[in-house]
Chains A and B, each alone.
Chain A
Amino acid sequence: MRMRLPAMATAVIVIVLGGWWAEAQWASHRKLASLGNLDPRGSYEIRLDFAPERFHQLRLQEAGRLVEVRERTVFMMDVEPAALRAIAGEYWVEAVSRWNRS
């Protein structure tokens, strides 16, 4: 009886984390659907909802080589598919498209 509150709190945490994870998977799938097959080490434009801060740049640098930041868009090279899926799952990433470096 006394341990009902900890059990309920744990259940809430598990549900929130599960929901968060499921939403990230769905968001990643939705944002990358138009790209088709992903290159083993591709170049991409990552568009955010806002101008990226240091936090976002560091997070993106973990996924590949950050080449340039132009207003709300971050240009990246050498991004592996798994890393791109993880980045696309972030809710602060608005859209992902291929970067044709010509």
Chain B
Amino acid sequence: MTNAVALPALAPPRLASRRVTRVLKGAAGVLLLLAAWQISVPLVGLGSYFYPSPSDVAAAFVDLMRKGILPVYFADSMLRYVAGLSAGAVLGVAVGVLIGLHRGIAVTLSPLLKFLFAIVEVAWIPIFVVWFGYGIKTIILALVYVVFFPVLYNTLVGVRTAPQILVNALRSLGANRWQVLRYAIVPSALPGIITGLRVGAGFAFRGLVFAEIIAAKTGIGYLIFEGTQTQQTARTIVGMIVMGLTWLAIDLCYLRPLERATIERWGLTVDAEQRT
């Protein structure tokens, strides 16, 4: 007969309550910032053109919504963003896989790509405007340029670090080039591709603002620019806040889950939740 010894239960910290605590702490930080901002407005004593209060910004937001300006600008920006991000990602993955698989192409393209990588997208926008005029083409091209490089380099790393043993095993089983790519190289490159996409998506968001300031007559970037031009600084701040919140939503709802799912399925087995 054995006596069972009851060990004290070591309950793992509950994920849900941890998340709630994190959200509450984050919200407290935002509220603290807003309170400090509101209190500082009379102390600073400048007009709303120089230093609008949170209530001015809220009023500007309501006004922009009532007049239908913000929804249209937001939709235009998102359309350009999704188009540029998609095209840049597809191009980056394609070129990355190509360079990763062919040493000769890598040697030929490497100096050119390094050279182009050094030229920021803002420098290209005036040239794009000359070639394609103001509007969506120029903006999408600028975004493609921004997204292309992080996706390319991360894809390249993923392709080059594909386990050789797996590639050899597939080849010895009679797999053709396409099957090796499909079953060994692309799956092992996927975590890198998704990481590149996440980085590129962040860069593209910044690029979108630059491009819209220079080459558009609508969009959130244009709103940010137009606000200061028309002495409606509160509108500029609305644009900035919308930009920030949209990025948080995209990252939270799409990029982070996608990266987590990819890493769990094809990459490292660490819980991505712990890393953030």
**B68/A90 in contact, CB under 8 A:** yes
Q: Which of B69, B217, B218, B260 makes the CB contact (< 8 A) with A2?
A: B260
Q: Can you list, as one digit per residue, whether each of B247-276 has a CB less than 8 Å from chain A (1) or not (0)?
A: 001001110011011001000000000000
**B254/A92 in contact, CB under 8 A:** no
**B257/A5 in contact, CB under 8 A:** yes
Query: B264's closest neighbor in chain A, by CB?
Result: A2
Q: Which residues of B contact A55 (CB under 8 A)?
A: 67-69, 72, 218
**A53/B67 in contact, CB under 8 A:** yes
Q: Which of A2, A8, A92 makes the CB contact (< 8 A) with B67?
A: A92
A71 to chain B, nearest CB (A): 15
**A50/B67 in contact, CB under 8 A:** yes
**B254/A49 in contact, CB under 8 A:** no
Q: Which residues of A contact B217 (CB under 8 A)?
A: 58
User: Does B66 interact with chain A (Cβ within 8 Å)?
Assistant: yes
Known: A9-B253, A50-B67, A92-B67. A2 touches B72 (CB 8 A): no
**A56/B67 in contact, CB under 8 A:** yes
B1 to chain A, nearest CB (A): 44
State the CA gap A9–B253 with chains docked (Å).
6
**A6/B254 in contact, CB under 8 A:** yes
Interface residues of A in 55-96 (CB under 8 A from B): 55-56, 58-59, 90-92
Query: A90's closest neighbor in chain B, by CB?
Result: B68
Q: Which residues of A contact B258 (CB under 8 A)?
A: 3, 6
Q: Can you list, as one digit per residue, whether each of A1-14 has a CB less than 8 Å from chain B (1) or not (0)?
A: 01101101100000
Query: B73's closest neighbor in chain A, by CB?
Result: A55
Q: Can you list, as one digit per residue, whether each of B225-264 has a CB less than 8 Å from chain A (1) or not (0)?
A: 0000000000000000000000001001110011011001
Interface residues of B in 202-233 (CB under 8 A from A): 217-218
A40 to chain B, nearest CB (A): 27
State the CA gap A3–B256 with chains docked (Å).
10
**A9/B261 in contact, CB under 8 A:** no
Q: Which of B67, B72, B252 has the most CB of A within 10 A?
A: B67
State the CA gap A81–B264 with chains docked (Å).
54
A50 to chain B, nearest CB (A): 6
Query: Which residues does B use to contact A, with CB under 8 Å?
Result: 66-69, 72, 217-218, 249, 252-254, 257-258, 260-261, 264
11 contacts between A and B (CB under 8 A): A3-B258, A6-B254, A6-B257, A8-B253, A9-B254, A50-B67, A53-B67, A53-B69, A56-B67, A58-B217, A92-B67
